[in-house]
Structure 1
Amino acid sequence: MHVFDVFNKKSYAIILILCVSFSCFYPLLDAGVIDFDDTSMILKLNTSDENFSIKKLYWPKNAGRYYRPLLMHSFVVDSKIWAFEPSGYHLTNIIFHTLNALIFYLIVLKLFKNELNYKYIAFFLSVLFVLHPLTIESVAWISGRTDILSVFFSLLAFLFYLLKKHYSFIFVPLSIFLGMLAKENAICAVPIIVLYEFVSNYPSKDFKQTLITVLKWVTILIIPLFIYSFLRFNGFGLFDAKMPTAAIKGDFIEPGLSSLNQMFSNFYLLPAVIGFYIKKIFIPLPLNFAISQINVVLYSALSGVLCVLNILLLKKKKFAFPFWLLFIIIAFLPALPVALADIAWTMYAERYLYMTVPLLCLFAGDLYLKNLKKFTSHSKRIKIIICLLFLGLTIVTIQRISIWKSKESIWADTYKKNLTHGKVLYKYGSILGSEKGLPFFKFAVAHAKDNEWRDFSLLIVAQDEANKLNYNKAYDLIQEALKINSERQNCYQAAGILKQIIKDESLREDKYNRLLIQCYQLAYKKKPKPVDLSNIIRIFESLNDEKNAEKYSKMLIEKFPRSRAAKYILSKFNN
């Protein structure tokens, strides 16, 4: 038996795909967390007093920016099994990525079954999917599971569709629905299936007959969209729901500007964003965890060139490339509003392209077969080129995974590629620690934009100035930070610095106390809590301002009558 004959046996091919995937991503089991939202999520899930409610998870009281209950459910299951051990969460990501490769293998077998050596092609395309650099971020970052899970169900939906069984009409919409519960981009499976249904039947079948089957699938696939929308917007209470800001701390939309309005104001960027993602799909390097800027002119021009090229190909009745490109663009459509509205921590991200990778692999397989038939005399050269590309991708992937093995290395790499990005400077400085990271915080204060977590860097630099007894400088930095973002965390961090300054009896100036009171007032305004009023009362009492102390005491009793602070004040009044 020839060594390559093992690929003709499905069981051997599946075992090899499993081996490639786990051997490639195995180092990530030691990766830990990257001190982003994955850290806070694991801590929250494993807090003893955190009550998990399936009803609240799938039927929240208010429509938030994200509705991904199945994703959160998977993390809850992880937390019950692995608790605080990050390797378990990473293992789940690797397992689902591997399952995606296996489902993709079965899809390729179905699509290319009439081609010579289709089993070889199915195996190598599946390995290409496993090793593609654009999948690494989703697999390596615990929170990147959202894309892996949604694609898992999307691929499952397409596989059920290809099987053409009587149960397909149940499992296709069900899979899409489950995919959307993991991430909204699973909705892309709907136009992909509908478009494929059309191009695979017409013109071989009558147009009317093709249209009937397409409309049948459209009708079926509307059902999961309807149910998802009903759950997502609490019974379609879309216009009554208030959408909060992004889940990642420090992200906020420009005051007075909604996500929708901000998206329309940046609509001119659309050609550039499309051009950038198309380039990224075909030429993924350089890999960057925090892509915040693109060359608008260059990528707009690329979009224009591709548009003209596709029009010319369609005029010549060469439909292959335009249709493949259309499929790929459909797969990353959900990433476009993110870039235009700037609602995520970075406007652009490699993980948004995870769903496009299977389509890119299919396009590569189709291109390989066409060129093999067209240039039969050069088949060996074509295969050598393919092998070299595989080798190059493997080297890039292994090297990138080694960077993701620790939070220090991933943030160091991200910093090198984003030297003036405020969010990256803040995160890299935080990883290095207060002493080594201080130059990065100071650089962020000088160069970062307000929506790049500049407020966080300002407060850290303010703390350093307070430690050096540069109180006036610390005061100015605190004011600037609160002006940018007066969220509770910032207010209490600023209050801690001010209390440190006020301890110096020689500097009990009114301006420090006024700013300290303002910190607690701003915190109370964001989310009223009795502790805010208690802190204000203490300050006025220390200043012997009985009038204001009494005013806030009455407010505390009125607003929070059952709180410990209110009961304590009442006991003082009674005495």
Structure 2
Amino acid sequence: MSKSWKYALALFFITLAIYIPSLNNGFIWDDNVIIDHQIHTLRDARTFFFPVRTQESTPAYYRPAVGLSLVLDYSLHYKNPRGYHLTNILINLLNVLLVFLLSLNLFELMEVRHRHLLSFMAALLFALHPLHVESVSWIAGRTDLVVAFFSLLAFLSYVLFRKEKNISVLLAGFVFYFFALLSKENGIGLLLLFPLFDLLVLRKKLHKTLLPFVFFLLITASYFYLRYRAGCLVAPPGAGEEPTLFSKAITLIYAFGFYLRKLVYPLPLSMFIDEVPHELYIGLLPLLYLFILAISLMKRGRAAFLLLWILLTLGPSLLIAISRLASTPLAERYLYLPSAGFALLVPYGLYRVGRPIKKEVLLLYLLVPYLLWFAIETLDRQRVWKDDLSLWADAVKKAPRSALPHNEYGMALRERGLIEDAEREFLTALTSNSRESKSWKAYAATNLALIYMDRDEYDAAEKYLKEALEFYPNYPIALYDLGLLYLIRAKNEGENGEPNRALLIKAGKTLKRAVRADPNFIRAHLMLGEAYYLYGKPEKAKEHLEKVIELDPRSPEAQDAVKLLSKIETAGESRDEKVD
């Protein structure tokens, strides 16, 4: 067996052993939104490329390739989280092996001795980095795994094209680059990495890099055209006062410094980073990075390429810190693809330091304690991502002033029957003074209402649902819960076995608003069908009940819809018999 195969097998089993615990994880946070809502919007090729927008969609995100992977999982595993987690583990495994292959070829072109050992250390650093737990253990974090997979394939194809002068490999690189763009926005960082590789690693003249670059540019233009057609080209405005240009620049500097520090020293690990830190040393790290980059560029050092890999693949994610597109301005998962550059840079840097004194191998082995520390932290972090309760308990400790973690922690407590603790968390979220979107307070108010509905305190529940709709007027879940509340009251407050008509009308109007806000909201269609049935409009009821079955024929809601449709058919036959 060759040396490459031995190292590759070692990487395979180490990576598998590190992440196998995540197979036991459940669906967490956004996973349920994806499985219950967003997957049902992806029905054919058109909806993959031009997705149907729901209330849960983020207009600036355009990720058809990730959607395809989730639909394939859904068709194979339905609502069994183990299958989705297995896919994440396998994609991460492939990425580790791709980092190893890319390192082997890059270090060969850089004329590095001991390239197998360096490549193994680089891939192992990538495999064990604790920041990757968020991407691997969270199903919704798959976007970073998929964009890294296609980006690494694209770049490896380009490197092999330059080595072997094989046009078919370059054509494959074009395809992989297109899929990287269709996976996540930071795939666009490759556009500049291709010519930079030619200039800094191969040291080609500028004009010799232009022809492939033109084709990559055309692919990028096609991607932006698709984004435009899908309505994903312009980000929506954020809430609140718009920061000044100077303020945005300062935020970008500190955000970049934060990510640089996280690559080297990832603790404390947190899935909810609610603000950009402004410590002095964080602000100085980008200056240190630019200083080292400038020296490397002046000396035409190849380390400059790896330094630029970090910046260019992180660039689109840095913009989130100033654009308010996501729940938090920063996230550890955004470093998944940039960390490939870091993983190559560290062993290469140690090699360059040790080469003049002929101690390069010794210096590489100094990485072993660092890697062991990473492995321990990665294994330990798996426990936090086991379920919603452990994840949000950790998030509340690290972001105590933010509404979202308290709301999500409350939901996890409520699911386990810890109602008083859940109520406390929802009230904390509702009364928090955080700068988050008002939508999070709407979620908290809605969850409080559910507690009061369970206690049959309908007046209090109605009050909180109306408060939720003041924060977020078209919030589908609040509209659904309010419609359900009216429906329950209509049944309870009727006379002579007939529901209260006034409340039934209010239920129907509110549920109609819910399905307008989210046309694929299965439960809202089911309850609206029941409301129409009780009101005596069977044809309207059938329309919404059949929609439930169309959206997800295997769901419990579909089974309830079938039963109600059967009732409607039976009632219709009885009427026909009386007429006859």
Normalised to the residue count of structure 1, the TM-score between the two structures is 0.77
User: 2:476 aligned with 1:488, yes or no?
Assistant: yes
Q: Distance in 2 between matches of 1:148 and 1:345?
A: 20
Q: Distance in 2 between matches of 1:530 and 1:76?
A: 22
* Cα distance change on mapping 1:121 and 1:466 into 2, 3 Å: closer
* Cα distance change on mapping 1:401 and 1:61 into 2, 3 Å: closer
Q: Displacement of 1:524 after TM fit?
A: 7.9
Q: Displacement of 1:39 after TM fit?
A: 2.2
Calculate percent identity across the aligned residue pairs: 26
Q: Determine if contact 2:320/2:326 at 8 Å carries over to the other structure.
A: yes
Q: Distance in 2 between matches of 1:245 and 1:316?
A: 38
Could you tell me which residue of structure 2 aligns to residue 275 of structure 1?
257
Q: Determine if contact 2:273/2:331 at 8 Å carries over to the other structure.
A: yes
Secondary structure at the counterpart of residue 347 of structure 1: coil
Q: Determine if contact 2:42/2:67 at 8 Å carries over to the other structure.
A: no
What are the equivalent positions in structure 2 for 1:443-454 lying under 5 Å apart?
A: 443-447=428-432, 448=434, 449-451=436-438, 453-454=440-441
Q: Displacement of 1:403 after TM fit?
A: 2.2
Q: Displacement of 1:521 after TM fit?
A: 8.4
Could you tell me which residue of structure 2 aligns to residue 218 of structure 1?
213
Could you tell me which residue of structure 1 aligns to residue 182 of structure 2?
181
* Cα distance change on mapping 1:263 and 1:461 into 2, 3 Å: farther
Could you tell me which residue of structure 2 aligns to residue 407 of structure 1?
388
Secondary structure at the counterpart of residue 254 of structure 1: coil
Could you tell me which residue of structure 1 aligns to residue 320 of structure 2?
338
Could you tell me which residue of structure 1 aligns to residue 79 of structure 2?
84
Could you tell me which residue of structure 1 aligns to residue 34 of structure 2?
41
Q: Displacement of 1:254 after TM fit?
A: 2.6
Could you tell me which residue of structure 1 aligns to residue 16 of structure 2?
22
Question: Which letter does structure 1 place at the counterpart of 2:45?
Answer: I
Q: Determine if contact 1:290/1:418 at 8 Å carries over to the other structure.
A: yes
Q: Distance in 2 between matches of 1:76 and 1:299?
A: 44
Q: Determine if contact 2:145/2:336 at 8 Å carries over to the other structure.
A: yes
Secondary structure at the counterpart of residue 291 of structure 1: coil
Could you tell me which residue of structure 2 aligns to residue 157 of structure 1?
154
Could you tell me which residue of structure 1 aligns to residue 5 of structure 2?
11
Mind listing any 5+ residue stretches in structure 1 that lack a counterpart?
1-5, 247-251, 506-511, 542-552
Question: Which letter does structure 1 place at the counterpart of 2:44?
Answer: S
Question: Which letter does structure 1 place at the counterpart of 2:445?
Answer: L
Secondary structure at the counterpart of residue 274 of structure 2: coil
* Cα distance change on mapping 1:294 and 1:465 into 2, 3 Å: same
Correspondence for 2:424 among 439, 448, 452: 439
Q: Displacement of 1:356 after TM fit?
A: 0.8
Q: Displacement of 1:530 after TM fit?
A: 10
* Cα distance change on mapping 1:423 and 1:452 into 2, 3 Å: farther
Q: Determine if contact 1:271/1:299 at 8 Å carries over to the other structure.
A: no
Q: Distance in 2 between matches of 1:348 and 1:9?
A: 40
More displaced stretch, 368-377 vs 177-186:
368-377
Q: Determine if contact 1:133/1:396 at 8 Å carries over to the other structure.
A: yes
User: 2:44 aligned with 1:53, yes or no?
Assistant: yes
Write the deviation string for residues 432-475 of structure 1: whole angstroms up to 9, x where unpaired: 11603111111111115443611121133245457778777656
Q: Displacement of 1:420 after TM fit?
A: 2.2
Q: Distance in 1 between matches of 2:117 and 2:378?
A: 22
Secondary structure at the counterpart of residue 166 of structure 2: coil
Could you tell me which residue of structure 2 aligns to residue 545 of structure 1?
none
* Cα distance change on mapping 1:312 and 1:181 into 2, 3 Å: closer
* Cα distance change on mapping 1:225 and 1:87 into 2, 3 Å: same
* Cα distance change on mapping 1:213 and 1:37 into 2, 3 Å: same
* Cα distance change on mapping 1:21 and 1:440 into 2, 3 Å: same
Q: Distance in 1 between matches of 2:39 and 2:156?
A: 36
What are the equivalent positions in structure 2 for 1:437-476 lying under 5 Å apart?
A: 437-447=422-432, 448=434, 449-451=436-438, 453-464=440-451, 476=463
Q: Distance in 1 between matches of 2:117 and 2:525?
A: 67
What are the equivalent positions in structure 2 for 1:275-294 lying under 5 Å apart?
A: 275-294=257-276
Q: Distance in 2 between matches of 1:121 and 1:437?
A: 50
User: 2:104 aligned with 1:109, yes or no?
Assistant: yes
Question: Which letter does structure 1 place at the counterpart of 2:178?
Answer: F
Question: Which letter does structure 2 place at the counterpart of 1:399?
Answer: D
* Cα distance change on mapping 1:309 and 1:530 into 2, 3 Å: closer
- Aligned residue pair count: 522
Q: Determine if contact 1:140/1:404 at 8 Å carries over to the other structure.
A: yes
More displaced stretch, 221-230 vs 457-466:
457-466
* Cα distance change on mapping 1:96 and 1:522 into 2, 3 Å: closer
* Cα distance change on mapping 1:242 and 1:134 into 2, 3 Å: closer
Q: Determine if contact 2:321/2:330 at 8 Å carries over to the other structure.
A: yes
Q: Distance in 1 between matches of 2:353 and 2:284?
A: 25
Q: Displacement of 1:169 after TM fit?
A: 2.7
Could you tell me which residue of structure 2 aligns to residue 128 of structure 1?
125
More displaced stretch, 285-294 vs 496-505:
496-505
Could you tell me which residue of structure 2 aligns to residue 386 of structure 1?
367
Mind listing any 5+ residue stretches in structure 2 that lack a counterpart?
494-502, 548-564, 576-580
More displaced stretch, 304-313 vs 412-421:
304-313
Q: Displacement of 1:43 after TM fit?
A: 4.2
